[in-house]
Structure 1
């Protein structure tokens, strides 16, 4: 990312390090270290350290729709955030409206040709546009599955045992397994948290912060 930059350009980039992503900051720091550049990197180093600390403390988990706390007994508790639940509900409602608008567009198109009415270019374009909303609405309705899957979701890790409450095929299941059963599965686009052979939730593997947060969560569950 920065190997082709001159030292002067690296210094200019470091001057606005706060606008960089975490991955970009770490790569910039690494490039400067590799070149053994004699410059005060304290602000950049501090920013990287602060972000790593937040990752280890699971403070970035809410960006993925979950949050982690410790209860009075010291157990690690992971739940779905209220904000994520609200967004899932809104996505389903908007998706339903968009889908129905698309169905109406399809019906209007069918009626237009079935009745042998004179085709108006403007009406045709409008109905084609509305009909195309069917796919978009259907895609948004996929949020319904996520909403249902995480109704009643809860994950608790304590004394070497991880308990999971999650819906599988609509039914709320309660499973408890040793902490060693916690694992991560890496794919090209996602990194998924598993408890044994049960999928818990996944994140975007292309997002460095999400990937590192998943790894930090898995480590905390192992230790609990």
Structure 2
């Protein structure tokens, strides 16, 4: 990312490193070390270490809609109320947008079937309404998430993983040894699985989410040893 930058440009970026993304901070540190510039990068290293510590504490698990609570020799993962609220809002907006899109389709059909004078402005409005309707369909994906994670719970108790999740709307409880817990990359996602069942996922292209789900997997597998 920074190989084409001059030394002066790198030093300027170092001065504002806190405004950079975490991935950019890591890349900047790597490039500065590679060039052996005579610059103090302690602040940059501290900033990175703070972020790593937050990731290890699972502070960013909420960004993928979950939270982890540890008690005794157990760790329990549940969905956050905020994520559920976001899904509900997405569903409401999705319904409204789909209705707008429906009227856009009706208007477009009416424009071509009517004998009245053709209006370019009306056509643009109707196409815009249809585009909003398409967006609404995507928002309705919140229905599946809301159903899938209603009653969700992931628990490691002394090496036994208990998963409560809905499959085809039915709430199912699965118990397996923690050795069946695995993290796999599937397309653009990092998916936490219990044997063949998907539990939750994170964006594989987002380094914070990727490191967070990796840390969660590690915690779930070693919770009994970390007490």
TM-score above 0.5: yes
CA distance in 2, matches of 1:127, 1:50: 50
Query: Corresponding residue for 2:62?
Result: 62
* TM-superposed deviation, 1:154: 1.0
* TM-superposed deviation, 1:127: 2.8
* TM-superposed deviation, 1:132: 3.3
Query: Corresponding residue for 2:182?
Result: 183
Query: Corresponding residue for 2:16?
Result: 16
CA distance in 2, matches of 1:76, 1:84: 20
Quick one: structure 1 residues 12 and 163, their matched pair in 2 at CA, closer, same or farther if it must change by over 3 Å? same
CA distance in 1, matches of 2:33, 2:102: 59
1:1-224 matched pairs, under 5 angstroms = 1-71=1-71, 73-114=72-113, 116-224=115-223
CA distance in 2, matches of 1:149, 1:174: 13
* TM-superposed deviation, 1:164: 0.8
Q: Secondary structure at the match of 1:132?
A: helix
Quick one: structure 1 residues 20 and 115, their matched pair in 2 at CA, closer, same or farther if it must change by over 3 Å? closer
Q: TM-score, normalising length from structure 2?
A: 0.91
* TM-superposed deviation, 1:48: 1.0
CA deviation string 1:143-183 (max 9, x = no partner):
11111111111111121111111111111111111111111
Q: TM-score, normalising length from structure 1?
A: 0.92
Moved more, 145-154 or 100-109: 100-109
CA deviation string 1:24-60 (max 9, x = no partner):
1112112222222333221111111111111111111
What are the ranges of 5 or more consecutive residues in structure 1 without an aligned counterpart?
A: none
Q: How many equivalent pairs are there?
A: 223
Residue pair 2:164, 2:171 contacting (<8 A) in 1 also: yes
Q: Where do 4+ consecutive residues of structure 1 move more than 6 Å?
A: none
